[in-house]
Amino acid sequence: MNLSRRFRDLLSKTGYWLDGNPTEGLVVPGHPSSPTDIERFDPIFSPSRSSLAASALFRARGAPLVVFKDAMDRPEPTDGELDNWHAVSWNAGIAPILWVSTPSRVILYNGYSPPRAAARDRILAEFELGDLIDGTQRIERACGRLTFDSGAFWKSQHARRLDRKTRVDAVLLHHLTALEAGIFERGLPSLMAQKLIGRTIFSQYLVDRGLLPERRLRAFFGAPSLPDILRSPDAARALFKWMKVTFNGDLFPPDIEGEDEIVRSDHLTLLADFLEGHDSLTGQRSLFPFRFDVIPIELISSIYEQFAHSAAGSEALSQGLHYTPTNLVDLALDVLLRDARGHERVLDPACGSGVFLVESLRRLVWKRARVEGPSRRLVRDVLENQIYGVDINPAALQVSAFSLYLAALELDPEISPDLDAMRFEGLIGRTLQLGSFLNARVKFPNPMDVVVGNPPWTYAGRSSTERADRTAQPRRTPDWAFLWRAKEHCARDGKIGFLMKATPFFSNDSVATNARRQLLAAFRDVEIVNMAQLRTEGLFPAVTRRSHGAETRERRPTAGPALLFVGRPGTPAQDAELGLVNVPWLEHFRRNGVFELAPEMRKTLPVATIGWSATKLKAALFGNAREFDVMNALSGSPQLVRLGAWTRALGITMDQGYQLHGGGSSPASHLLGLPVVDAETFRAVRLPESLPAFAAPHAHRPRSKAVFEGPLVLCPEGSFTKALEPGRYPAAFDPRSLAFSESIVGISFKGQDPRLGRVLSLVLNSKLVSFQLAFGASNIGLKQPKVEKVDLEEIRVPDLLRLSDDNLEQLVKIERQLAGVAGPTGSLLQRLDEAVYDLCDLPQADRRVIDDSLQRSRPMLLDTRAERIQMVAGPSLEEFLQYGNEFTRIVEIALSEMNVYRLITNRIVRLGADIVALRFDLESGPQRPIGAFYAVAPELFEAPLIRELGGATLPHFHRMQFLRVYDDRSIYVVKPDQRRFWRVSDAQTDAVLVLRDARFRQASRLPAPGEIQSPERRQKKGLH
């Protein structure tokens, strides 16, 4: 595609185009450096598909963000042309921004705003180009590439009106759900209503593609438009029969007996009203916004999310039905089909609407077409011999077949008005099979090269998930059964990739632990992409469904914390590694739905290092390198013991409290009269003196008397707001026998030295324990801020029996001081933590990592949006200085051993919106104190830094990336201006990376990384 010189200059000056060549983020049709999957954007690029004929597309970390239209070398476009371009962009649903460049201005359109919306909602910003230099600078500051790479755009005023609730898929689902409800309310069964809607969409697709022009509609059905045909029952029946004969296959099965009698004119009128722009809920009429020749097929197939719930009724939840957003489909297939050649066989064992199958069909056709050339024969061969699906829901298979046929038509390079040649072979019963993937004898002619999907997560009873071979599975998680069954259908060198419930991968439960052990022994080349931190941000859209066929509708999140598991069947090698990616919490994901995945976010760790430990896996994903190191060191420390093992060895009772309600009725006489503690009355360190007495004669689970006998250490599952300070875990000691509820775990020290209980309570209130829970507990940061008994049992604590009498007395003194004050001072809490660190014999560097963990753990332990926002806020000068001091301390250990330069923390350099650099200088001579520490704009002599990053707009900077730039005797650490990247543990992690950099070693005359210092030296220096 030819771009005007003015437009290329504009792209270059705003960071999208470098040295006359597109960057990896810019997709330009016809350019040799454009990506190989450019065909997927054909609806916006191809002049034959749409009037937009987009000029370029910008992607960041795989997510399409900006569609560009170059209209600079033509007359100023009319309002009608601009509106039409925006309508195409919205219908394509590819990117949130449409950028139109005209001879006089740049217009930013809201790609999530429907075409009929008011101009103030559709247009995000306009920039006049009268003064090209000034205008370009304003554009660059507002929406240049750096604003997207740094994330600054999403915080700007221009992004405030972007809301994926008005994206084409959401609006289409809204209309189709209301339409289906209206037809159902007029007495037509849901399945028949869905069939009518599917026929209507398919017919409109043919009209929009020009395959059913007005002359053909008149000739065949006696009316010039689809709405006119649908308002005539005879014409509508003729249309539906013609489509069945013409396309055959499974486009609209199964036939319903007596259809002509039960489908009335008022049902068909609702379909006609829909095509004429009537809102099914409000009755208001406007221009029909949808263009089915442009809307991606996977969005059309997403009607299954709504229809499957309606058709399944009360069984919807038991079947685990949930809609998979297209960005998650892309995420999975990007990994699974990365090296595909095009002849792979793909199976989705819970195919639903076919969204994975549709995108797989597309990608395989594109890959084969590059070698064999595009043809209808090729498309049909892929459709009929390489795409397989299974589902328990017949309505799902119907929509899946419908979606695949539409996709095949879209990919057909020979599509023409000769529709008689478009006849399809049936898929249902052959490549699309009805039944349970787990229980039915599903068979395919050959092993699959790729098995992919989003299997049900909802527990539907033991019979639906139990396997004859009794392969280990976590409790109540049918997706693991799908994983094991998929292994049987996968070729030896094939890949399996499932979107799965995240919690079993991080559970300390013994059953889950055994399941992970078997999993890691049975799969190789394993990769895990954890998306649990987006669980509250609408990762999976809410479901709108009819409950039991009634009028009432409800919206609810469709899934919990998710991850993507990818692996190949087979025993891993002894040196095998796990690929790990943790998708960070994103403040604006709720509105824009855009992932931020960069290559530098991927890390690898030996499988042997993690084993099947949930704690180590969670620490590796949620923590940085130093946080993982510390967790790993704690788990192997000879100074520490597992709390559960320690209590069992001493015969100390550790168990949950009573459960009052639940169906059972057992005597609870041993609890009568005891003071009652629950989540409301619990307090950290010391409980209230006055507590109500237990008065229930019976309980569902009263537990044994030994559980409640004092002295007690009480450990709640929550109550984090009652901790000594935010980010800590609360525990309490009490000498009394107490009745406590199931939300509390009690540790009874009856018959033991009560000082042991007091000291254990002290340890549990320390940063050491909150650090371990944040990066090791089963639910925290994944599902809810809840500590389970198995999590407490896994905590590493000092062996208190080894303490001398003097040590016990000193620690008890601190515990009594904490209990005696309403609000502990910082110095007293510091004494608490230092005393616990001393018991554990922790190195100083590890202590600093744990000390710094309160800020990092607060969003997980308190689980509020406000706490998460605090972690993405800009650091204070003091926090930057703490990072700088820690970074300097680590690097200087290496420098001092070689008697070369010293490293001096200099200042903060603000490089752009949401990007900062911390500057360090290499100096010789005696040590000197830091001078005034402040933040400044780049100075002239710092121009080499800007050049190295790619020019004044820093287009090589990617958000979440840690850049290291060396300029003579200076080091610049470049990161986003967010608190979560500038912690003490980050400083330790980053310092190690700097020491490994060849340029730094050359500048400072350091030896190779392995020669810098021995492990014994590192231990002595506190770098353990």
CA distance 307 to 434: 17
Q: For 598-623, what is each residue's pLDDT tens digit?
A: 777 889 999 999 988 999 999 999 99
The pLDDT mean for the chain works out to: 86
Instruction: Report the range out of 419-423, 838-842, 1002-1006 with the highest average pLDDT.
Output: 838-842
CA distance linking residue 690 with residue 738, whole number of Å = 12
Contacts of 8 (CB under 8 A, 6+ apart): 17, 20
Mean pLDDT, range 19-39, rounded to an integer? 71
For residue 619, tell me if it sits in a domain.
Answer: no
Q: Crossing angle of helices 394-411/376-385, nearest 10°?
A: 160
Cross-strand partners of 433: 390
Question: Beta strands 387-391 and 346-348: pairing type?
Answer: parallel
Return the percentage of the chain with pLDDT > 90, whole number. 53
Asked if pLDDT for residue 12 goes beyond 90, the answer is no
What DSSP designation does 705 have? G
- Cβ contacts of 839 within 8 Å, gap of 6 or more: 639, 763, 798, 803, 807, 811
C-alpha–C-alpha distance, residues 503 and 587, integer Å:
23
Helix (H, G, I), strand (E, B) or coil at 97: strand
For 381, other C-beta atoms within 10 Å of its C-beta total 16
Q: Name the helix (H) or strand (E) containing 92.
A: helix 79-92
Same domain, 179 and 158: no
End position of a domain, from candidates 144, 162, 180: 162
- Domain boundary (162, 180, 212) is at 162
Judge if 587 and 707 occupy the same domain: no
Residue 114 shares a structural domain with residue 179: no
Distance CA 952, CA 973 (A): 17
Is residue 987 within 8 Å of 890, Cβ to Cβ?
A: yes
Mark whether 864 and 877 lie in a shared domain: no
Question: In which band, very low, low, confident or very high, does the pLDDT at 524 lie, cut at 50, 70 and 90?
Answer: very high
Please indicate, yes or no, whether residues 172 and 191 belong to a single structural domain of this protein.
yes
- Has residue 627 been placed in a domain? no
- Residue-wise pLDDT for 161-216, tens only, equals 999 889 998 888 888 888 888 998 999 987 788 888 888 988 998 898 888 899 99
Written as one string, the DSSP assignment of 359-422 is HHHHHHHHHHHHHH---HHHHHHHHHHTEEEEES-HHHHHHHHHHHHHHHHHH-TT--S-GGGG
Q: How many CB atoms lie within 10 A of CB 262?
A: 13
Lowest-confidence region among 252-266, 434-448, 800-814: 252-266
- Residue 430: pLDDT band with limits 50, 70, 90: very high
881 and 734 within one domain: no
470 lies in the same domain as 346 = yes
Residues 185 and 91 in one domain: no
Of 295, 317, 352, which marks where a domain is finished?
295
Report d(CA 717, CA 544) in Å as an integer: 33
Tell me the residue range of the domain where 755 lies.
Answer: 640-868
CA distance 197 to 212: 18
Considering the entire predicted model, what is its pTM?
A: 0.90
Q: What is the pLDDT of residues 716-727, one digit of tens each?
A: 998 888 999 988
Same domain, 592 and 513: yes
Q: Is residue 550 part of a domain?
A: no
Q: Are 771 and 983 in contact (CB under 8 A)?
A: no
Domain count across the chain = 5
